[in-house]
Every structure is written in C-alpha cells, then in structure tokens.
Amino acid sequence: MTDFAPASMSFEPGAAGPKGSIPLCVPHIAGNEWEYVKECLDTNWVSSVGPFVDRFESSVADFVGAQFGVATSSGTAALHIALLAAGIQPDDEVLVSDLTFIAPANAIRYIGAWPILIDAEPNYWQMDVQKLSDFLTTGCEWTNRSLINRNTGRRVTAILPVHILGHPVDMDPLLELARRFDLRVIEDATESLGAKYKGRPAGHLGDIGCFSFNGNKIITAGGGGMIVTDNQEYAARAKYLSTQAKDDSIEYIHNEVGFNYRLTNVQAAIGCAQMELLPTFIERKRHIASSYSKLLENVGGLTTMPRADWADPVYWLYTILTDASSRDCMRKLAKKSIQARPLWQPLHLSPVYESIQVEGGNVAEDLNKRALSLPSSVSLTDVEIEEIVSAIIS
C-alpha cells in the first residue's frame, strides 16, 4: 500500500469519509439508538452495569440460541476471556486460521499459549479442515493422555476457527476432530453474526462463540464484544474474569488476576437497538451480495464471492478475486473515491508470527494477493453498487 493509507486510517468506522466517497463498511444508525442512549443519560446508568447490559447479553444469546451471553469491552477481549474460561493454559497450543484479522492469534498469546496456523482452503477461503485433520493425525501423538505436537513437544488443547467475511467454516468435520482429539472449540464469529452452518447459527457450534460490535462489524455498539455458550461454568468464569475476578465486593477480596473487560450500559444501549435491526441488516447484506454477484458474474478477470452448500452467509464484506493485482484495482477505485481493501496478510507472514508453525500457507498467500473486499455497508444503495461495478469494469 503506497499512495493509499491503510484502510482503517483513511476511513475510520463511523466516519463518513470524504464527501461523495463510498466507504468500505460503516455503521448504520436507524432504530432506537438515540432513545436508548437518552434513557441511559436520563437515568444515570451510563457505566459498566445497567439494564441494557443484561438485555444485550440475552438478546445476542437468544438470537444464536445459546443459554448464556457475557458482554465484553471488545471482540478481542471476548476471545481472550473465552480461551481462559475454556481452561487453555500457558504453553498450550491452539489451532487457528492463518488467513484472518490478527486478533485471535493475539488473544492466544495474551494467555501465554501458542498459535499453530492452519491454511485456508481455496474454495471458500475458510480454515482448511483437511489440513487440520492431517496435522492432528500425523503431526501429533498421545503422551500421558495429552495430545502433543511432535514438532514442538507442546500440548494441543483447542481449535479456534475464524468464520471470515461472514461465511462459516466447515464445522461438522472440525467438531468431529475436536471430539476425537479432546479439543475445546472456540469460534471467532466476530465477522459472522447471523450466518448459519447447515441451518445452525455461527457462534453456537462449538464450546464458546465470540462476537464483536466494533464499528465495522455486522452490528455495532460503538465497540464491544460478547461470548456466548451453553456451558454454565464457562459463562460464570467469563463473567468473573472479565469483571476483575472479585470474590467479595465489600471486602474487595480477589483470588485471581482478573480483567476490566466490561461493556458500558451506553454501549449496550446502542447494541440493543442494533440487535432489533439485525434481521433487516442481514437481509440487506444478502441483497448487496447478490447484486454484486449478478452484475459481476460475466466480467472477465475476476471471480465473484463463493458460497458453500453448507452456508447461509451474512456477507460481512463482499469480496472478489482478481486475476491481476488487487492492489492496483484498489488504487484505481480509490481514485474514484471508492474504498476497497485486500484480505489480511496471512499470519505466517506477519512479522509478529513469522516464527510460528504453519500447516500449508500457500492458499492464504494467494488469496492475500488476489482478494479484494468491496464496499458492503448496510446503507449502501443500489445506485452506489452500480457505480462501483462500472468502476471495476472500467
């Protein structure tokens, strides 16, 4: 990226961007947000407890059919707390997608555990479950009832699949591997609230699911995250650790190191209003995706976004594959004030994680070179979609 600042800097989520420009993905405030925030201000419930926090937790949990929801200050905090709640220990290894935003790998490092990177599969760009299986069956062995990575000698204890771009990972074979090898499954569903895998909601397929309510996600709370789970012990542990691990709130007794990962009532108020809009947001995202696919279908030099048979995606960011350079295309679109963005640098190429073990990696590298995400805000109009498509064609 040369003449174009990193996407996140040129158009902060929430900022409209330069006048007349089309941003990648910005929030859409269209319901009871004002009313609920005003209620917080009027009642003085502005901080980290309050009725909207509880309501937000139950509305997200209910939406995915989970028994418990625990709100956190960000999606990254949700991932950190999920790993702790699931009992992942320092020096354990966690199998995570190679092609993802960096947050899940960082969360693994926060607890002193190590990521093992699993390449994407070329068809739908999600974690390659065959490579995961190959690693578990040939790269690991059982020693004293622990699953040990032969290469590092460390214990492998969890899988962290990331449902990227609003499309689910092939979870049934992954869950079967998890059962066979006694691994916890923590889903990073931060880009996939509302997506389904064979009719089941993403984020409610493994042991714990994590969501983000950052400004560029499916819905926003300004910022924030949540874990959802059916496991009462995990939920209680997540609540405890995310609220400073307080064992006695009068005497201030703490038996463990906790975190201040609480969501405020004001943020939750925005989140509650956005949850009411979620069904229409999902409908709109799907409409945007099918419009792009229809208009780009017969355009040479590019491939439209794929969808697996098992998936009802939410199309967080509609993404195409270019035969030529995606960076070139991105720069040309930027000149027409249209913000597009390549996919993330695969984690095995990231300077922070270059010494980390990776299974495969070529597919993620190829996708990083060729994929380009197009504007996908819920507020994107049909006229803007046509404008973007003709800019791409030209």
Ligand X SMILES: *Cc1c(COP(=O)(O)O)cnc(C)c1O
The residues that touch ligand X, with contacts defined as CB under 6 A, are 74-76, 100-101, 103-104, 162, 188, 190-191, 212, 214, 225
CB of 101 to ligand X, least distance (A): 4
CB of 60 to ligand X, least distance (A): 14
Q: Among residues 104 and 361, whose Cβ is nearest to ligand X?
A: 104
Q: Among residues 149 and 274, whose Cβ is nearest to ligand X?
A: 274
CB of 9 to ligand X, least distance (A): 15
Q: Among residues 104 and 147, whose Cβ is nearest to ligand X?
A: 104
CB of 97 to ligand X, least distance (A): 8
Q: Among residues 139 and 215, whose Cβ is nearest to ligand X?
A: 215
- Measured from each CB, the residue nearest to ligand X is 75
CB of 13 to ligand X, least distance (A): 9
Going by C-alpha positions, the residue among 94, 80, 105 that lies closest to residue 156 is 94
Dihedral angle of Cα 91, 93, 94, 96, to the nearest 10 degrees = 120
Q: What is the largest CA-CA distance in the chain?
A: 69
CB of 254 to ligand X, least distance (A): 25
Q: How far, in Å, are 89, 183, 184, 373, 377 from residue 303 at the CA level?
A: 42, 36, 35, 12, 21
Sheet holding 225-229, edge to edge: 68-72, 225-229, 208-212, 184-188, 156-160, 93-97, 114-118, 358-359
DSSP assigned state of 154: P
How many beta carbons lie within 10 A of that of residue 91, not counting itself?
14
Q: Among residues 74 and 304, whose Cβ is nearest to ligand X?
A: 74
Q: Which residues contact 297 (CB under 8 A, 6 or more apart)?
A: 304
Angle, CA 122 vertex, CA 182 and CA 180 arms, to 5°: 10
Q: Among residues 190 and 322, whose Cβ is nearest to ligand X?
A: 190
